[in-house]
Structures are given as structure tokens and as C-alpha cells.
Amino acid sequence: MHRWQGRERFVILATAFGAGDAFLDAWQAWRDDPQRCERLVYIAIEPEPPTRDALGAAQDAASPLVEALRAAWPPLTPNLHRLSFDHGAVELLLAIGGLRAWLPELVATVDAFDLATLPSDSDARLAKAFARLAAPDAMLVAIGHPPAWGAALSAAGFNVDIEQQAGRGAIHARFAPAFRPRRAPARMPAQRAEGERHAVIVGAGLAGCAAAWALAAQGWRSTLLDRHDAPATEASGNPAGLFHGIVNAQDGLHARFNRAAALAARGAVQAAVDAGVPGSARGLLRLETTLTVMQMRAVLHRLALPCAYVEALGADEAGARAGLALDHPAWFYPGGGWVQPAGLARHFVARAGDRAAWRAHAEVQRLERIGSGWRLLDASDNTLAEAATVVLANAADALRLIGAADWPIDSVRGQISVADASRLATPRVPIAGRGYLLPAIGGEAMFGATAQPGDADPAVREADHVANLAQLARLTGQPVELTPADLRGRTGWRCSARDKLPLIGAVPELAPQGARLEQPRQVPRQPGLFLFAALGSRGVTWSALGAQVLASWVTGAPAPVEASLLDALDPARFVSRRARRGPNRPPSSRE
């Protein structure tokens, strides 16, 4: 492991995770090495991961590393799981599935390949996939594979030695291609001045505060600029917000991203709750009005979604969990719940520690490109900050700053309603569906909410209270003996993309010339400028994973989601859709 010494980051990709012993050995070796790299990332591709109890079979059962791995072990859903240890300095990316399926989906620069299992027949496409991921001088070891693999790897740019060990071929290879492999513009590591790891973040709502935390976990400093005197005073200022995954029979991009995000949110919210932020990660019910409970369970079986992630409950079971009679079956998310958004945002900044600085009353009016960086100016053209790396996390105003007002993004007005909890039966866990109802919080019951794109009225309206009461009656199946006069409310605006996914990634050139633009990863970028916005009504659910995705863009760390999901979240998707549509065809309502 001496190759990791003195490095900022060292990335290992391994197959045959087994009981996790090889990862635990690497982690222990990293801890024991005083000259270790700053950050160790271990990517494991495993079609049949072990249960929590089976982890560390060859280790001391009382080992603190084994205990930490077991405590962090996720529900084994079929996606990429990011587990963090030693204050973020060690990461395990667990890809549940087969090698052929996962190699094209990984976005990483790998320094060492430990390939304990490979297909028996050599495969030029797999060898090229290893080359796509390989860092210069990356080492590859594969035990027990035929010499034909040596030819495939040689053709892909590896210098290969083949040894015989106990009658089996052992491949040792170093990546040293005669040519530099082409990488898509959006997948190239960010360029920065030597030693400079600092970003200016515009906006200190959930997105901006989470970005500061995720960048700090990668060893970066950040400066948060916000026009208000405290974080999270706008869309993140509601008393409470929900978080949960979703289930969809097609298990498409939305379902996969929301599942991964909900799993990340659970850990972030629980850490905040443990630190005193109001909230709970003890479960959430989402009513199902289309499928029967038997059909729901059939979907879960087909998608291999474990009960640790979601359960399908009949109406009686759901009602028992809620403590209220319910008319419909429900999806129960044991890792869902609610949290005070502003408290979660402040907790993200607290976790960033001295790597995050906060500046109030700093409203950015425009951006100016200067040399290899950016200047941020206020309405009087005074310089607020200069930086090589800027993250725009200021919701819809970010689109004004980059000149993308024509993107299909809406500012959506929402109004919540609040009643005295004594006037309304409240559930033990949040109930969501068409509307939502939270458990009693500080003697108050909160429910809602309306959604009105393009509505700029800040007033709390009686008509919206009426709409929220109607939603509440449909949600609970019970008459509600409240009137608008019994309610208080709050309005806010959510920035939401019409395709119902956030904007996370490097800001594209808005009018690129002479480039292949049909795929987001091919679109040229504005150097050092990143976007983390359009979290809509799912800010609590999306903030933690979204921030980690953003940090991987900024720092070049391995992405915590699949390449197909990165494309779906990429702000350049709107440029690509326009290119695919052609100049003469109007956009659809979702574009």
C-alpha cells in the first residue's frame, strides 16, 4: 500500500467483497500507516453482499472497525451505497450487482484494481472499461484468470505480466497507454491551482449548507454567502419537512435517485436529531390509492427491495403504525421521517467545522469571469468575493446569474397550515400522499401544502387553508372539524424543475459551438462554476446525497451515484434535450 503515501486520495476497485475482510484489512493498513493518503476510497462490486451479522468473518468480532462497518451497513437495495468512516477520510462505495452492469456506471479515477473474480472468457469491452477508470500508472491484479485476459488488457493500454501460481494464471498489470484516453468534458477532474481547495457557495439554505458539509468531508474549505442574517430563512424556513424514498414498478431514474437520497438523508437527519435538532427518523407512511396491498408486495418482490427500506402495509396495519384509522394501504419507510429544515441546515454547517465560513448580508448581483476564476459582485458592483471555484446554491436566482432564465424551472409558491394539536388527531409518524400530516410538534399540528407555480403573493390566504383542509380530509379519510379561522400559515417558494429532478453539476456553456451535445456528459462547461439547485419540495430528502454528488464534481472524488443518474441530474441535460430536439421543434411541457 506504499503507493498511497503522500497522496490526496487513493481509490481501490475490488470484486468479491465477501464478508468485507479485504476492505477491513485495507482500512486497518491505512490507519497504521503514518504516511497514508488523506482519503481512501474503496469501491466494491458485489452481486450478493453479506448480511450485517456476517461482516468481518475473518476479523476479531470485537474489532472497532467491524463494529463501525456493521453499524453503517445499509438496507441492501440494488444501487450504489456510500458508507463513510473516520470523519469522511475513508469511504466504502458498495455497488450491489454484477461487474458487467456496474463498470459502465462508475465515475471514478482508480489507482488499484483488485480483481479476484473475472469472467472466464476475456472481454475487450471490460478491459476498455478498466482503462476508462484507470489513473496513470494504476495497478491491476487478477488471480486465477486465463492468459487471454492479458491480451485484452494489453490492447486496452496495460503493461501486463502473467505468472503461474498453483497452476493458475495471475495477472499483474500497470496502466501505461501509448495514448491518452479521451474523456467526456463533464467527467474530467476539475482543474485548480496547486494546493487550492476552496469554494465560494452562494446561498445558505439546505443546498448551500449541505454543500459546505460535503466539501469539508473532501478536505475543502468553503465560504457561504447569503443575503439574510441567518442560514435557511427562505424555502428552508418551514417548521418541519419530510423525507422518504419512493417505489415505482419501473424503478426508473426518479425512483433510483430518491431511494439513494432517502438512505443518505436518514443518516444525516439522525445525526442532526442526535445533536438536538427537532425531528425523527423513525418512519413515514405514504398512502397508496392505486394498488392493492398484494400488488404492492409483488412490486417489492420483483424489485428486490428489502423491508429495511420499505414495507407494503394494508390499511389496518398502516393505521396501527400511525395510531389513526386509515382507508388505504400504505408504503412504510422505516428510515423516513421529518426534521426541522433550518436546524438540519445549521447542523450541516456545524459538521463542516472550521472548514466553513459564513458571511451574512452578502447578496450576489452578478458574476464576472476573471482569469482562471470568478468575481462575485453586489448591486453596487462592489466585490464580495473572488474564487476559482463557485457553487451556486441560491435556488431560482442561480439561473439569473448564469443567464439560463429559459430553462424549464419554476418558482412554486407553497402555503402550509398549522393548527393547535388539541384540535386535530395527529399520527405517531408522518403520513404523506396527496398532502401530508405531521405528528404533533411543540403542541402544533402541521399539514399541507399548496403548490402554485408562478404565484408571487406572499400573503397567507384563506383559500389555501381551505385547499389544505380538503387535502387533509382526503388523506385521513375523516371529516376535519376546523375552519380557516382556526389556522395559522406560512408561505414560501420552492425552486423546482419540471422533470422533477434537481440540478447538480458543472454549469454548461449555454451556447456551445462545434461540440457533440446529445448527451449531457459531452457538453462543454464553464470552468470552476457549479450548480446545486431545484430541490423543490424534497430538499430534506435530496440535500445530503445531492451535496455529495456536488462535491464529487468539484473535487474529482468518485461519484456516489451511477453515471446514468449523474446525467439525469446534470444541468446540461437541458442543453442536450434542445440539441436532440433540433431548432424547429418546440419543447414539451416537461422540458
Q: Which CATH code fits 197-234+354-408+498-581? A: 3.50.50.60
Matching fold, domains 2-186 and 411-490: no
- Residue found under cell 454528488: 549
Q: How far apart are CA 501 and CA 56, in angstroms?
A: 38
Name which residue leads in pLDDT, 180 or 428: 428
Cβ contacts of residue 230 below 8 Å, gap of 6+? 360
- The x, y and z cell numbers of residue 272, run together, are 442532526
pLDDT of amino acid 191: 57
pLDDT of amino acid 179: 79
Q: DSSP letters along 497-530, please?
A: ETTS--EEEEEEPSS--SS--SSGGGS-EEEEEE
* Domain 411-490 in CATH 3.60.15.10: no
Beta bridge partners of 494: 412
| Dihedral angle over CA of 322, 325, 327, 328, nearest 10 | 20
pLDDT of amino acid 374: 97
What does the DSSP 8-state code read for residue 179?
S
pLDDT of amino acid 485: 95
pLDDT of amino acid 188: 61
Q: How far apart are CA 589 and CA 353, in angstroms?
A: 43
User: By the 8 A CB rule, do 145 and 108 touch?
Assistant: no
The residue among 542, 536, 591, 538 whose CA lies nearest residue 413 is 536
Least confident of 99-113, 154-168, 247-261: 154-168
User: By the 8 A CB rule, do 390 and 529 touch?
Assistant: yes
Write the pLDDT tens digit of every residue in 236-265: 778 899 999 999 999 999 999 999 999 999
Q: DSSP letters along 211-237, please?
A: HHHHHHHTT-EEEEE-SSSSSS-SGGG
Q: In which band, very low, low, confident or very high, does the pLDDT at 232 lie, cut at 50, 70 and 90?
A: confident
Residue 481: exposed, middle, or buried by beta-carbon count in 10 A (0-12, 13-18, 19+)? Answer: exposed
pLDDT at 135 over 80: yes
pLDDT of amino acid 336: 98
**SS (HEC) of 37-74:** CCEEEEEEEECCCCCHHHCCCCCCCCCHHHHHHHHHCC
| Rg, Å, the chain Cα set | 25
HSE of 5 in the Cβ direction (CA atoms, 13 Å)?
Answer: 8
- The x, y and z cell numbers of residue 559, run together, are 461519484
Q: In which band, very low, low, confident or very high, does the pLDDT at 1 lie, cut at 50, 70 and 90?
A: low
User: What is the percent of the chain with per-residue pLDDT over 70, rounded to a whole number?
Assistant: 93
What does the DSSP 8-state code read for residue 441?
B
pLDDT of amino acid 146: 64
Q: In which band, very low, low, confident or very high, does the pLDDT at 49 lie, cut at 50, 70 and 90?
A: very high
pLDDT of amino acid 458: 94
For the chain, what's the residue count?
Answer: 591
User: Across the beta sheet with 337-339, what order do the strands follow?
Assistant: 241-243, 337-339, 279-280
User: By the 8 A CB rule, do 263 and 78 touch?
Assistant: no
Q: In which band, very low, low, confident or very high, does the pLDDT at 540 lie, cut at 50, 70 and 90?
A: very high
**Positive or negative torsion for Cα 422, 423, 426, 431:** negative
22: left (phi over 0), alpha (psi -120 to 50) or beta: alpha
Least confident of 25-29, 92-96, 158-162: 158-162
Q: How far apart are CA 136 and CA 120, in angstroms?
A: 27
What does the DSSP 8-state code read for residue 133?
H
Write the pLDDT tens digit of every residue in 332-354: 999 999 999 999 999 999 999 99
Residue 484: exposed, middle, or buried by beta-carbon count in 10 A (0-12, 13-18, 19+)? Answer: middle
pLDDT of amino acid 591: 59
Q: In which band, very low, low, confident or very high, does the pLDDT at 585 lie, cut at 50, 70 and 90?
A: low
Q: DSSP letters along 539-572, please?
A: HHHHHHHHHHHHHHHHH-PPPSS-HHHHHHH-TT
Cβ contacts of residue 26 below 8 Å, gap of 6+? 1, 12, 40, 42
Q: In which band, very low, low, confident or very high, does the pLDDT at 305 lie, cut at 50, 70 and 90?
A: very high
pLDDT of amino acid 193: 52
pLDDT at 275 over 70: yes
Q: How far apart are CA 536 and CA 501, in angstroms?
A: 8
The residue among 129, 107, 133 whose CA lies nearest residue 118 is 129
User: By the 8 A CB rule, do 16 and 117 touch?
Assistant: yes
- Residue range 527-540: mean pLDDT, rounded: 96
Provide the residue type at 257 as one letter. F
HSE of 367 in the Cβ direction (CA atoms, 13 Å)?
Answer: 26
Q: How far apart are CA 284 and CA 193, in angstroms?
A: 46
**Positive or negative torsion for Cα 532, 233, 240, 328:** negative
Q: How many CB atoms lie within 10 A of CB 574?
A: 23
Q: How far apart are CA 425 and CA 552, in angstroms?
A: 44
Write the pLDDT tens digit of every residue in 163-212: 755 556 688 999 999 877 666 666 665 555 556 899 999 999 999 999 99
Phi, psi of 12 (to 5 degrees): -115, 135
Q: Which CATH class is domain 2-186?
A: alpha beta
Domain boundary assignment for the chain: 2-186, 197-234+354-408+498-581, 411-490
Model confidence pTM above 0.85: yes
pLDDT at 533 over 80: yes
Q: How far apart are CA 246 and CA 226, in angstroms?
A: 32
Distance of CA 523 to the CA centre of its chain: 22
